[in-house]
Amino acid sequence: MHEREEQTETIAPHLGPLDIAFFVIAAAAPLGATVGIAPLVYSQAGFGVTYLFGFAAVALLLFSCGFAYSFRISGGTGGFAELIAMGLGSAMGDMAAGISLLAYCAMLAGIVGQLASYIAVPLGHINGREWVVLAAAILLLVAVLGYRRIDLSRRIMAACIILELAALLSLDLALLFSSPGNGVGAPAPVFPSIGAPGTAVGLMFAFACFVGFESTALYGEEARDAGRTLPIATFLSIGTIGVFYGFTMWCLGVAYREPSLHALASSAPEQFVLATVEHYMGTTAKTIIEVLAGFSIVAVLISFHNALARYLHQLAGSGLLDRRLHKVHPAHGSPYVASVTVSVAVAIIVACFAAAGADPVGQLYMWLVALGTLAIVLIQALCAISVTLFLIRKPAPGTGGIALATGVGGAGLVIAFILCLTHFKALSGSGTVTTWLPALIPAAALLLLALRSKRNAI
Query: Could you read off the pLDDT of 354-377 as tens digits, one per residue?
Result: 998 888 888 898 899 889 889 988
Q: Virtual CA dihedral for 205, 436, 214, 408, nearest 10 degrees?
A: 70
Which whole number is the average pLDDT over 193-221? 73
Residue 332 belongs to domain spanning: 2-457
Q: What pLDDT shows up at residue 178?
A: 74
Q: Output the furthest CA–CA distance in the chain (Å, rounded).
A: 72
- Residue 182: its pLDDT value, please? 47
pLDDT of residue 270: 67
Spell out the residues 6+ positions from residue 309 whose beta carbon is closer than 8 angstroms to its own: 146, 334, 335, 338, 339, 341, 342
List pLDDT tens digits, range 244-253: 888 888 888 7
Write down how long the chain is: 458
Rounded distance between C-alpha atoms, residue 428 and residue 106, angstroms? 12
- pLDDT beyond 60 at 185: no
CATH for 41: 1.20.1740.10
In this predicted structure, the answer to whether residue 427 has a pLDDT above a threshold of 60 is: yes
pLDDT band for position 76 (50/70/90)?
A: low
CA 37 → CA 197, 267, 428, 430, 443, distances in Å? 17, 14, 13, 17, 29
Q: What pLDDT score was predicted for residue 7?
A: 43
**Can you give the pLDDT at residue 385?**
93
> pLDDT tier at 83 (50, 70, 90 boundaries)?
confident
Residue 11's pLDDT is 66
pLDDT (average), residues 330-336: 79
* Lowest-pLDDT range of 147-156, 250-259, 395-404, 437-446: 250-259
Give the per-residue pLDDT at 109. 93
Give the total number of structural domains in the chain. 1
pLDDT at 6: 40
Q: What is the band of 315 on the pLDDT scale with cuts at 50, 70, 90?
A: confident
Q: What is the pLDDT of residue 455?
A: 67
